[in-house]
Amino acid sequence: MSSLEQIQQLLEEKFGIDPQTIDVHASVREQSIDSLTLLELIFAIEEHFDITFPEERSDVDTLAGLAEVIDGIRSTRAA
Protein backbone atom coordinates (compact mmCIF):
# COMPACT_ATOMS: atom_id res chain seq x y z
CA MET A 1 0.00 0.00 0.00
CA SER A 2 1.42 3.39 -0.98
CA SER A 3 1.97 6.25 1.46
CA LEU A 4 -0.92 8.13 -0.12
CA GLU A 5 -3.26 5.17 0.31
CA GLN A 6 -2.19 4.82 3.93
CA ILE A 7 -2.88 8.52 4.56
CA GLN A 8 -6.31 8.15 2.99
CA GLN A 9 -6.95 5.15 5.22
CA LEU A 10 -5.91 7.20 8.29
CA LEU A 11 -8.34 9.94 7.26
CA GLU A 12 -11.16 7.45 7.17
CA GLU A 13 -10.25 5.52 10.33
CA LYS A 14 -9.33 8.44 12.61
CA PHE A 15 -11.53 11.24 11.31
CA GLY A 16 -14.39 9.52 9.52
CA ILE A 17 -13.60 11.39 6.29
CA ASP A 18 -14.33 9.49 3.10
CA PRO A 19 -11.05 9.68 1.13
CA GLN A 20 -12.98 9.59 -2.14
CA THR A 21 -14.33 13.06 -1.31
CA ILE A 22 -10.83 14.58 -1.08
CA ASP A 23 -8.85 15.75 -4.12
CA VAL A 24 -5.32 14.60 -3.24
CA HIS A 25 -3.77 17.49 -5.19
CA ALA A 26 -5.93 20.30 -3.78
CA SER A 27 -5.35 22.10 -0.50
CA VAL A 28 -7.02 20.17 2.29
CA ARG A 29 -7.93 23.51 3.86
CA GLU A 30 -10.18 24.17 0.87
CA GLN A 31 -11.92 20.85 1.38
CA SER A 32 -13.35 19.25 4.50
CA ILE A 33 -10.19 19.40 6.63
CA ASP A 34 -9.56 22.39 8.87
CA SER A 35 -6.16 23.39 10.25
CA LEU A 36 -6.69 21.58 13.57
CA THR A 37 -7.65 18.35 11.81
CA LEU A 38 -4.62 18.73 9.53
CA LEU A 39 -2.37 19.03 12.58
CA GLU A 40 -4.00 15.96 14.12
CA LEU A 41 -3.52 14.14 10.82
CA ILE A 42 0.18 15.00 10.81
CA PHE A 43 0.50 13.61 14.37
CA ALA A 44 -1.31 10.44 13.23
CA ILE A 45 1.04 10.21 10.23
CA GLU A 46 4.10 10.56 12.48
CA GLU A 47 2.82 7.78 14.71
CA HIS A 48 1.73 5.51 11.85
CA PHE A 49 4.95 5.82 9.84
CA ASP A 50 7.23 6.22 12.90
CA ILE A 51 8.67 9.47 11.54
CA THR A 52 9.06 13.08 12.63
CA PHE A 53 7.49 15.43 10.13
CA PRO A 54 10.07 18.09 9.20
CA GLU A 55 9.14 21.54 10.49
CA GLU A 56 10.41 23.12 7.28
CA ARG A 57 7.73 21.19 5.39
CA SER A 58 4.85 22.48 7.53
CA ASP A 59 3.58 24.38 4.48
CA VAL A 60 2.48 21.14 2.79
CA ASP A 61 -1.30 20.97 2.75
CA THR A 62 -2.23 18.42 0.10
CA LEU A 63 -2.47 14.69 0.64
CA ALA A 64 -0.17 14.12 -2.32
CA GLY A 65 2.34 16.55 -0.79
CA LEU A 66 2.19 14.78 2.57
CA ALA A 67 2.79 11.45 0.84
CA GLU A 68 5.77 12.94 -1.02
CA VAL A 69 7.34 14.12 2.25
CA ILE A 70 6.79 10.70 3.84
CA ASP A 71 8.31 8.92 0.85
CA GLY A 72 11.32 11.25 1.01
CA ILE A 73 11.88 10.54 4.70
CA ARG A 74 11.50 6.81 4.19
CA SER A 75 13.90 6.73 1.24
CA THR A 76 16.50 8.66 3.23
CA ARG A 77 16.23 6.13 6.03
CA ALA A 78 16.63 3.22 3.64
CA ALA A 79 19.81 4.66 2.15
| Burial status of residue 52 (CB atoms within 10 A of its CB: 0-12, 13-18, 19 or more) | exposed
The rounded mean pLDDT for the chain is: 91
Type of residue numbered 42 = I
Q: What pLDDT score does 3 carry?
A: 96
pLDDT tens sequence across 48-64:
999 999 989 888 989 99
Pick from 57, 59, 67: nearest CA to 19: 67
Q: What pLDDT score does 13 carry?
A: 94
| Burial status of residue 66 (CB atoms within 10 A of its CB: 0-12, 13-18, 19 or more) | buried
Rounded to two decimals, what is the model's pTM? 0.89
